[in-house]
Structure 1
Amino acid sequence: MADSELGLQKGAILMLSLGEEEAAEVFKYLGPKEVQKLGQQMSKTKDVPKERIEDIAGEVIGMAESQSALGLDSDNYIRSVLTRALGEDKAGFLLDRILQGSDTSGIEGLKWMDPGTVAELIKNEHPQIIATILVHLERDFAAAILNLFVERLRSDVILRISTLEGIQPNALLELNDVLSKVLAGGEKLKKTTLGGVRAAAEILNFVGTMSEKAVLDTIREYDSELSQRIQDEMFTFDNLLDVDDRGIQTLLRDVPGEALVIALKGADEAIRDKVFKNMSSRAAEALKEDLESRGPVRLSEVEAAQKDILKVARKLADEGQIMLSGGGEDAFV
């Protein structure tokens, strides 16, 4: 069982063991997705032994007693810890959302709505305003909203997201004006660093193959280099972890051995293990020996080899031989 699934089960048991008032207080600190997942797990949790409840309660108490950073209330502390744990890229978006104060307080209300309601609410606004809203939402949620727009608007919004280097105070003020009838306004606005090629790519990862192609084709007419940069970010070498074993085996048959060695020189251990387990033991041992005997490789060579492998992966996906990770349309590619 995955750690996340086990943690969710423990959380559900703990919430069910609390009184209604105490459980309600806990829910106040959770986001929409967390509430939905935890609520669904609670509804499926039946007949839990008393010993199991006591074990989980003891675990929670132990964790609480071991905490030493409670009450520090320091933005610098949070930034330092998350950056160290997740790396600058992964921590950046999360830190913006945690530390931006009331800059996007109005957006929080949207997160509790369904995509159709939000799409209906914002579809007639200026594409720049829509882009500003979507970069503040979870990527799959933003993609679900985007899929409800007409193709022209969808492409326009993604183009604006991909070229969005920052959100100015006047843009956020305008955003709050647009949502003022249903959402709370924001105060003490400052520029945030959301948006950009990565945000556009992450949203497009969830919109589905047909919509994705149409959007990228439209952006390519405007700026072919920008379109390629978005596509490069959409499926990275690390995402090979999400490809099933059969897909990896199919991919390896079409990847030159030399390119694989160079690409893996700069890959995480998890990626290497994924490749090794989908090869014969003899081939895996030979590959490990090649990696150990190969001297230092330039980062540019590693990146080029990884891109070549990703091109093969996309080609196989287009031919329907493998399925890449993503969301949106529930279809094989």
Structure 2
Amino acid sequence: MPNEDNVNPEEILAEMSGIERAAILMLSLNEDDAATIFRHLEPKQVQRLGMAMASLEDFSHERVVAVHRLFIDDIQKYTNIGIGSEDFVRKALTAALGEDRASSLVDQIIMGSGAKGLDSLKWMDARQVANIIQNEHPQIQTIVLSYLEAEQSAEILSQFAEKVRLDLMMRIANLEEVQPAALTELNEIMEKQFAGQAGAQAAKMGGLKAAANIMNFLDTNMEGMLMDSIRESDEEMAQQIQDLMFVFENLIDIDDRGIQTLLRDVPGELLQKALKGADDTLKDKIFNNMSKRAAEMLKDDLEAMGPIKVSEVETAQKEILSIARRLSEAGEIMIGGGGGDEFL
């Protein structure tokens, strides 16, 4: 099996302590799965592992792949119940990391191909990716931002100048599909690899929804400035993007059970700040899905709360929206009530 960049995984692992390997594995999981593992450890183990996770600096792609491969190999030594199955590994990684990142890892672990081309960018810091693509043609930058997850793309976009952000966002909104030849060329630019995996059909990416998803993750001030600029250039496009964005006021469209699920994951202080700038209808929706005592306490806290910066309110609302999106992706709540008629 060829190793990416001729780096031997055994050499990488030899340079790492057991606690470093464990830290990388834990950081690869989502918060809930990591918490489940922590509950089975002794207090001293939790402390050591937690400190290692907090202080870990080299979270490079090569180290992640090496640790994951070792983890799969070790499991196979102790059981053969399904672990050798690609389907099992795919499902396990999807549950832990989400579908997009799991797909990339399955290629690395099972097929031994490693992340190449565009997929390799998913594991990089936003500033790194911005540096890589900053001198590329805007159309290449557009494809990259459309291909990556919306949250990562928003972080990358924030590294560019305002004028460039406007141009790229409008290109993303206008993009509908990318021909195989273009994907092949782009992957060759990134890693000189991946040409055979582009497929024979055009890849659908970008579009108004992709632009709206990226806008959702931008800093509030940056989002507002960018939306104003888009509106000046193309008012219809700006309105279409706005309609597709999931904003704090859209929480009113979540059903009562979904609101109750969301509230269980939202810290009280965060909710209090977010509601400071909410309209009465949304506040009532929140209050009606809390116990009477909890609702009264929250109302009292809001009345007693002193002046708070608008930026703090917007930041709190963004954090709650991020929690809502995570729950939606996990299938625990349904956001965006506009499409309700399409369900039975």
Per the normalisation by structure 1, the TM-score is: 0.51
Q: Is there any run of 5+ residues in structure 1 with no aligned partner, and where? A: 1-17, 46-60, 265-270, 284-315, 328-333
1:233 to 232, 242, 245: 245
Q: Does residue 214 of the first structure (1) align with residue 225 of the second (2)?
A: yes
- In the alignment, the residues of structure 2 paired with residue 274 and residue 157 of structure 1 have an alpha-carbon distance, to the nearest angstrom, of 42
Q: How many residues are aligned here? A: 242
> Is 1:169 the equivalent of 2:195?
no
1:187 aligns with 2:196: yes
Do the aligned residues in 2 keep the contact of 1:96 with 1:192 (CA within 8 Å)? Answer: no
Which one of the candidate residues 15, 34, 42 is aligned to 2:28?
34
The residue number in structure 1 matching 2:130 is 119
Q: 1:246 and 2:272 equivalent?
A: yes
Pair 1:280 & 2:296 matched = yes
Contact 1:161/1:200 (<8 A) preserved: yes
- Which letter does structure 2 place at the counterpart of 1:324? Q
**More divergent stretch after superposition (151-160 vs 205-214):** 205-214
Match of 2:86 in 1: 73
Rounded Cα–Cα distance in structure 2 between residues aligned with 1:95 and 1:174: 24
- What is the rounded CA distance, in whole Å, between the counterparts of 2:90 and 2:120 in structure 1? 25
1:141 equivalent to 2:157? Answer no
Percent sequence identity is 27
Cross-structure match for 1:197: 208
Is residue 274–residue 313 contact of structure 2 (8 Å, CA) maintained in 1?
A: no
Shift of 1:172: 1.0
Q: Highest relative contact order (Cα 8 Å, sep 6+), 1 or 2?
A: 1
Q: For 1:44 and 1:92, locate their aligned partners in 2 and report how far apart those are by CA, in whole Å.
A: 26
User: 1:71-92 CA distances to partner (integer Å, 9 max, x unpaired)?
Assistant: 44359x968x97xx89xxxx77
Cα deviations across residues 53-80 of structure 1 (Å, max 9, x unaligned)?
xxxxxxxx99x999965444359x968x
Flag the 1:145–1:321 CA change in 2: closer, same or farther, 3 A.
closer
CA distance in 2, matches of 1:192, 1:41: 43
| Kept after mapping to 2: 8 A contact 1:249/1:279 | no
* Partner AA of 1:159 in structure 2: M
- Say if 1:321 and 1:212 are closer, same or farther in 2 by CA, change over 3 A: closer
What displacement does 1:114 show?
Answer: 3.6
CA root-mean-square deviation: 5.3
